[in-house]
Each structure stands twice: as structure tokens, then as C-alpha cells.
Structure 1
Amino acid sequence: MFKKTLALLAGLLVTVAVYAAGAQLRADHPDTYVVKKGDTLWDISARFLQKPWLWPEIWQANPQVHNPHLIYPGDVLNLSYDGQHVMLKPRMREVGSAIPAIPLDDLKMFLDDMRVVSSDKLKASPYVVGFEENMPRGVTGQFVYVRGLQAQPGQRWAIVRPTHMFRSFDDAPTRVAHALDSNVAMINGPWQEDSREDGHYGKGDEIGVEVRVIGTAKMLRGGDPATLLVTDSNREIRAGDRILPVNDKPYDPYYYPHAPKSVPDNAHVIAFTDSLSSAGKHEVVALSIGSSDGVDNGQTYSVFAPGETIHDDVASSSMQRSIGDHVKLPDEFVGHVMVFRTFDHVSYGLIMDGVRPVHTGDILRMPE
């Protein structure tokens, strides 16, 4: 397909050098597109490009511009074939109305309520030991008593409960002990895993414990136990629930789809949501790589199902399949996944497209 240099007119007054670098236009691309409320950057990119994750390659800007990738409802995106430079015309806007990379409405739970921490950090964290008037549970407006907390009066804290333990796909599986020494057992989170004897669940090295934020509390008095006032909660608080710092860093949805610089060897899909055996378009999956592996929001990967190893019935006897020649079939392309939240060793990703369902154990590679 004939490659043309693509420039998009929108945003700030700067001069932009653009280049194709393999970013091929769709055969049915529009010449002009007006950005609408509810659009996402991925969907807009897919209107112009065969590979939406190559958006940065056709939208390069001067480094002093804070974020030239922000586009807004009402912006008109035009194709320009100058091949050298274009002018971006200014317009005053509220940043809060910018178009995000992916649909966020259905991801609120994963953006606001979920975190992934190490089991060592969780086991060392302060924990709820009791409630006012020796009540069996705690709710908003009640005192809770917490052991192991060193804090100043007035400080706010998050109350969390473990929901899931993520494990790697190591070749030498090892069973991992329960993450906590408390009377709060792991509860069912949004994740599904293969729990068969030959499956993944319970095997591999632990790479993170997911916790759900179930409330916040304010420090009133120090001591062991310390006294905290529950300021809000979405579940009854139980003895053994853990105390972690409030996450005051807001989620930034204004990133763009892009390819990673490299893909770690251990990059797999380790869990998925919303179904019993597989995941499809616009469903969330957990990945076995995180910020310590260089993963950031917007990174896009191709997902491949591992090829099966079969007996070669032509080269050796089909009556004795336990012996003779075996051959591993090629890995098969499944779809694309984009990362939208990262932790040290685990990331959450959204399946953007696909030709078949995604399963745990599927492999991540450079997007193609």
C-alpha cells in the first residue's frame, strides 16, 4: 500500500514534523473527521491507521509542548500530505474534556478500587483488630481499632481487603502459602483462572496480591491499638482488613496507544474477568508484567495462543503416540491488548480487538 506522511490538525500552535515509519493509512480512511464526545483515541486512530498503536509515529511534536496528543470534542482532524511540517491551530479548552485513549466508564472499579501490592508489604501493614462496643463489624461513623499503625491525628488511611493472588507462569511450579495471617480469607475478586490440576491456579511464583479498597478512615488517637474513625465504606469492615496509605495520585487517562520498546520473556495473560473460560473484546485481563518491566499506560501488545505439541503421525507410527516424532505447532495470533493501569509486577489491560478468545497463559509479543 502506498505510504503517505500523515499529519493531523488539532490542538496547540506548534510546528510538527511528521513521518510514516510504517504507519499505513487505512484504505477507507476519512479525509476529515470531527471529534465527538464519547470517542476514544484508539477508535479515532483506527479510523486513519491500519495499526492504531502507531499513532505516536504520525503525531510528533516539539518537546516543550506538554501533551500534544490531547484532542477534544469539536476538533477537526484533517489529512495533510505536505511531508514536512504542519501548523497546529490553538483553541482554549478545559483539559478535563479531552478524549481518553480507551473507554473508562466500565473500568471505574479497576481505576479507583483495586490495587496490587506485594504479599510482604501486605503482611507488614497495619490491620483492624476490633470495633467500638465490641461490635463484630464496622461501618461508616464507627470507631475501629488498628494495630501496628504509626500516624498523626487527622491523617486519612485506606481500608483494604485482599481479593486475589496473582502468580507467574514459571516452568517449575511451586505452591505459595496464604498471603496473610488474619481471619480475612481471600474472597472472590473479578478474576477467573484455570483451576484444574494441570492449570495455572496455585502454581508459579507469587507476583502480587490484589486488594480492594473498601473504605477510608481518619486517625483520631495513637497507641497500640490506635483509634480511627471510619469516614466512608462500601462494605462492612472486618477484623483482619488492612490499612494502607490513601492513593492521592489521580489516574491520568490522557496517554496514547504505543508499542513497547521490548517485551519481557515472561509476558503472559494471567487472569481475566467476566467469563468462566476466556475473554473477548473490551474485557479486562491481568498481565504478568508491570512498571518494573518498563510497562506504562497505553502500551499495546499482540496476544498469541501457544501452539500445541502434537504427534507427527506421518513421520512415525500413529499407533504409538507416546513415542516417535513430535512437533510444536506455531503460536496463533489472538488479538491486541492495551495496558491501562500498572503496578510493580502486574498490569491491567483491555482487549482492544481479536479474532478468537483470550485465555490465561496466552503470550504477549510486539504488536503487529
Structure 2
Amino acid sequence: MIKKSIGLLAGMLVTVAVYAAGAQLRADHPDSYTVHRGDTLWGISARFLSKPWLWPEIWQANPQVRNPHLIYPGDVLDLSFINGGPALRLEPSMHREGEAIPAVPLDQIKQFLKDSRVVDPDEVKNAPYVMGFEEGDLTGTVGRNVYVRNLDAKPGQRWAIVRPTHVFRTHGGSGAEESDGMTANIADSDVATIRTPWNEEWATSVDNVTPDHAFRGKTLGMEVTVIGEAEVLRGGDPSTLLLLNSIVEIRAGDRLMPIDDNPYDPYYYPHPPKSSPDGARVIAFAQERMSQVGPYDVVVLSVGSKDGVDNGTTFSLWQPGEQVPDDVAHSSFSRYDHKFVTLPDEYVGHMMIFRTFDHVSYGLVMDGLKPVKVGARAKMPE
């Protein structure tokens, strides 16, 4: 039903003071902007502010605006000056309820909000597991029965079927060495592509791989992907479940975990970290086999909720400076004898956290001057 927005109005015009506006306004800001379908609050704020993650301060400065997410296509934002200072005015339009623009493009992160989670590896190891299929089938398909061991459940209960996809670890020694070691994508390809059942033997052998691939650091978490859903028909050990849906064929060794009915909050309020992150690095990309990513790509960060990170936490990403030989200061013919100098870190863009786990977070690259690479450092936003 078409109706006028009443949640943002006090009369026909809402005037909103800009937080630290004189310092935050972009030099090339427009005088007005009409909101379009597909816009995000971050993108709109970037048109007015040099620090777009401060847009919540704009709305919080005006108590009449109860929900900063209730901005709709067709609304007009005007930049004006009142009493010598800048302010944003919102001129609401006619709109359809439910069409409010999001803070970030939810379509880009939907898979990681609903279908992925990072848990302790022991939780996966000890979870109920698929051990067989109806009539001796080699894999499970929708509408057929699957048999599960170690499941304590009643008929009618529904469970998510998950498959391990990545193991996130630090590597190297301890202290500073360990922090510096968080520079690699710790995605274990065997877990993602192995054709035989995933079982406890793999979980044990991962710490006993060849020296060339040895992991000597700590485990940050194991990523699992929801690949199906099943309903309990009969209890017991094994239990009988009906496979309701799946995105791939279910195989022996797949684990069962409770369904998360409310995996995420669709609203995000960008804000700086509570404190300067210590050793936070980009350790993986959502897009496998990518060597670098850009705006609206998903990355994995090596800090999480137990490190003080929450949804909306915004970081600046900096690519570590390379170590290069100082050819000017040394005259030796062999560069191996030269003193190597570490160049300064280079700013590459901003990233906002949209889902956290204990020591790992998913983040969305919001903007950037250069591509983001694995190993990028996360710092206080600038």
C-alpha cells in the first residue's frame, strides 16, 4: 500500500545536525541527493562525508529520527547551512512499506549470514554424523531417508546438515611471530573437495601434515556450510531422518547441527573499534582461488567477538610494506648481503564486520583505493 512515511517526519521536513560536520564534509559534496533503488546508507554517506562510517552520528543527533534505516527510494537529502553550520534535511517521498534501503547490500552477504558459521573444531568432531542412506544408496538425495549416529532428538525436529569447508589458523611461533603469521588463507582444500567421508581421522591428521604444510599456530575456528535440512522420523542410534532439501548430495561423514532460526540482524551501524586491534589480519577470502578482492567482496578477519569486535565494526585495511634491499646503501654485487628495509604499510580501503564468531569475523569491503590481499592489516579507520 502506498503511503507517506511518518516514522521520519516532524511535519514535512526533518533537519538533522551533522556530527563534527565541518571536519567530516567532503570537499566535493553535492547540495542534494535523491535516493535511488540499490543505494546503501554507506554509499549515500560517502557522498556527503569524508568518513562515511560516521553516518549513525548524523541520525542520532536528531531524536525525531527513530530508525536511521527508514530511508526510501525517492527521498531527497539536502545539504544546507543553518546558523553558519551544515545540516542534512530529509524530504520524504511516497513509498511502499518494506522498501527501505539497507546499510549494506544484503544480497552480497546473504550466503554468509544464513549458510555459513564458524565453530570450534571439537564441536564438529563431536557432532552427530550421517553414516548411511536408504536402500544402500551411496549418497543422500531429497525425499529419501538418511541414517544418523549419536543424535538425541525427537520425531518432528529439524536439523541442519553441514559440511566443513575451511580451517582458520595462525601459523608460525608465538607472540609477535604468531601475529605476523596470520597472513595466509588457511582454507584446507582437502576438506572442501575430498570425495571420501570426512571423519575424525582427518581432524587428527591435520596437525600431522608434511613439514612443508605444518601448522604450528593456534586454531581460530572451523567454517562449516549448511548444505541441507532433515527432519527426524524415528529416534534411536542410528536415527532415521527424511532429507527435506539440499544444495549438494549428502554423503557419509556430513555433520548435523541445530538450525539457527535467527542467524543475523539485518541492521548494521558502522562504528570504529572499541580499541586499536592487535594483530588483526585478513586471513581468507570468500571467493576461493582469488588472489585479491575489492569493494563488496567478503573477507575473513582474524579477530571476533571475544576480541571485542561486533557487527558494524569498521576498519581501515592496510597492505603490509614489502621488504626490499637497499641497493644504494650497499655496494655488494650480491643482494643477499644487502640490508633489507621494510617499506611503510599502504592504505587500501575500508571493511565493515557483518558477522562475528569467537575469534573470526566475516567482513565486507566497503570501498578501496587498491585491491585487498590476504595479509592486509586491520587498523582504526582513518
TM-score bin (small chain): 0.7 to 0.9
Q: Report the alpha carbon displacement of residue 57 of structure 1 after superposing the two structures with TM.
A: 2.9
Q: Report the alpha carbon displacement of residue 227 of structure 1 after superposing the two structures with TM.
A: 1.5
Q: Is the 8 A contact 2:355 2:362 kept in 1?
A: yes
What one-letter code is carried by the residue in structure 1 that aligns with 2:332?
Answer: S
CA pair 179-207 structure 1, distance change in 2 beyond 3 A: farther
> Which residue of structure 2 aligns with residue 194 of structure 1?
none
CA pair 361-324 structure 1, distance change in 2 beyond 3 A: same
Q: Deviations over 1:54-77 (max 9, x none)?
A: 212333247797633432223222
CA pair 241-64 structure 1, distance change in 2 beyond 3 A: farther
> Which residue of structure 2 aligns with residue 52 of structure 1?
52
What one-letter code is carried by the residue in structure 1 that aligns with 2:312?
Answer: G
In 1, distance between residues paired with 2:233 and 2:377? Answer: 49
Q: How does 1:1-368 map to 2 (within 5 A)?
A: 11=8, 13=10, 18-20=18-20, 23-61=23-61, 67-82=67-82, 96-168=98-170, 170=172, 171-172=177-178, 183-184=197-198, 202=215, 204-272=217-285, 273=287, 275-323=289-337, 325-368=339-382
Q: Is the 8 A contact 1:307 1:332 kept in 2?
A: yes
Q: Secondary structure at the match of 1:100?
A: coil
Q: Secondary structure at the match of 2:60?
A: coil
Q: Report the alpha carbon displacement of residue 204 of structure 1 after superposing the two structures with TM.
A: 3.5
In 2, distance between residues paired with 1:235 and 1:335? Answer: 36
Structure with the largest fraction of helix? 2
In 1, distance between residues paired with 2:22 and 2:264? Answer: 31
Identical counterparts, % of pairs: 61
Q: Report the alpha carbon displacement of residue 324 of structure 1 after superposing the two structures with TM.
A: 5.7
Q: Secondary structure at the match of 1:292?
A: helix
Q: Is the 8 A contact 1:169 1:266 kept in 2?
A: no
CA pair 121-106 structure 1, distance change in 2 beyond 3 A: same
**Number of residue-to-residue matches in the alignment:** 348
Q: Is the 8 A contact 1:145 1:227 kept in 2?
A: yes
In 1, distance between residues paired with 2:152 and 2:51? Answer: 51
In 2, distance between residues paired with 1:22 and 1:103? Answer: 29
Unaligned runs of 5+ residues in structure 1 are: 1-8, 187-196
What one-letter code is carried by the residue in structure 2 that aligns with 1:238?
Answer: R
Q: Report the alpha carbon displacement of residue 245 of structure 1 after superposing the two structures with TM.
A: 0.7
Over the aligned positions, Cα root-mean-square deviation in angstroms equals 3.5
What one-letter code is carried by the residue in structure 2 that aligns with 1:282?
Answer: Y
In 1, distance between residues paired with 2:45 and 2:24? Answer: 11
In 1, distance between residues paired with 2:260 and 2:316? Answer: 31
Q: Report the alpha carbon displacement of residue 132 of structure 1 after superposing the two structures with TM.
A: 1.7
Q: Report the alpha carbon displacement of residue 126 of structure 1 after superposing the two structures with TM.
A: 0.8
CA pair 15-162 structure 1, distance change in 2 beyond 3 A: same
Q: Secondary structure at the match of 2:108?
A: helix
TM-score of the superposed pair, with normalisation by structure 1: 0.82
What one-letter code is carried by the residue in structure 2 that aligns with 1:11?
Answer: L
